[in-house]
Structure 1
Amino acid sequence: MTLILIGLSGGGCSLSRPESAYAKMDDAEITGSISPPPEREPTEGDLAFARNAASDVLTKGSKDSSQPWQNPQTGARGSVTPIAKSYTADNGRTCRDFLASYVNGKTERWLQGSACRIERGRWDIHTLKPWQQS
């Protein structure tokens, strides 16, 4: 019976400590040995899906359109958006620049590319590299 009384009598008590008594950690402090996951580079398969989406959206020719893409094998996804009007290259072919997003897990980045029109209205992707913002 004594045990029950002690448990019930301590149940309503609470301790109060000033806020300064607790340790505070700055958001910028990093503790522990877990490091953030490395950024994932696009695989050749991911780039193939992005190139295909670029060719599709450029073939449609719509000014303000984007084409989504996704690689079910890696889980990577993104979209491709033309960023400028077409222009005539030195070789006389019609070309166009575009941006492609790449998202895989927590990795998110942008790629810039250029493509030129080839036979039957399809587009040949000439460059696809990390975007250098100017």
Structure 2
Amino acid sequence: MTLILIGLGSGGCSLSRPDSYAKMNAADVTGALGKQAATPGAPTESDLAFARTAASDVLTKGDKDSSQPWENPETGARGSVTPLSQAYSAEDGRTCRDFLASYVNGRAESWLQGAACKAGQGRWEIHTIKPWTKG
């Protein structure tokens, strides 16, 4: 399971989509989470691994209007992941999709936004997951 989570989190992608909720660049992946992870009430890397797995699962199932719950038993954090809009083609020709994830841990509640692209065997690789900002 650990190897799967590492593999899902290690992919990289460069997309240009102006109406996308999640811009795919290195600053989003490292900068946003690196600073947030130390903030009280912010998701830990472990929490994000569970959210990534849930995102990959719900996107792979392909059910219309579905959400996938997730929970980290180590931290007590939980939430759900919901795909947004329809899939779109990235500049490199891969099929990608944006998603929104809720995050609840104690009294802390927030939203995360992300993007994933289809990989081999129909699985989805998560390329970004960061705090959601209205835009």
Q: TM-score w.r.t. structure 1 length?
A: 0.70
Once the 2 structures are TM-superposed, how far is the Cα of residue 41 of structure 1 from its aligned partner? Answer: 1.3
Q: 1:65-113 deviations in whole A, cap 9, x for unaligned? A: 0000000000000000001100010000000000000000000000000
Deviation at 1:39, TM superposition (A): 4.0
Instruction: Give the structure 1 partner of residue 78 of structure 2.
Output: 77
Q: 1:66, 1:81 → 2: CA distance?
A: 5
Shift of 1:62: 1.4
CA distance in 2 between partners of 1:85 and 1:59 (Å): 13
Cα shift at 1:61: 0.8
Q: What does residue range 53-132 of structure 1 map to in structure 2 within 5 Å?
A: 53-132=54-133
> Deviation at 1:40?
1.1
- Which blocks of at least 5 consecutive residues in structure 1 are unaligned? 1-37
Instruction: State the partner residue of 1:14.
Output: none
Percent pairwise identity: 70
2:5 is matched with which residue? none
Once residues 45 and 122 of structure 1 are traced to their aligned partners in structure 2, the CA distance between those partners, rounded to angstroms, is 21
What stretches of structure 1 move > 2 A for 4+ residues in a row?
A: none
Aligned AA (2:123):
R
- For 1:103, give the aligned amino acid: V
Q: Number of aligned residue pairs: give it.
A: 97
Q: Deviations over 1:37-78 (max 9, x none)?
A: x74111111000000000000001112000000000000000
Q: What one-letter code is carried by the residue in structure 2 that aligns with 1:87?
A: Y
Identify unmatched segments of 5+ residues in structure 2: 1-38
User: What is the root-mean-square deviation of aligned Cα atoms in Å?
Assistant: 1.0
Corresponding letter in the other structure for 2:113: Q
Q: Report the AA paired with residue 83 of structure 1.
A: L
Give the alignment's TM-score, normalised by structure 2.
0.70
Match of 1:41 in 2: 42
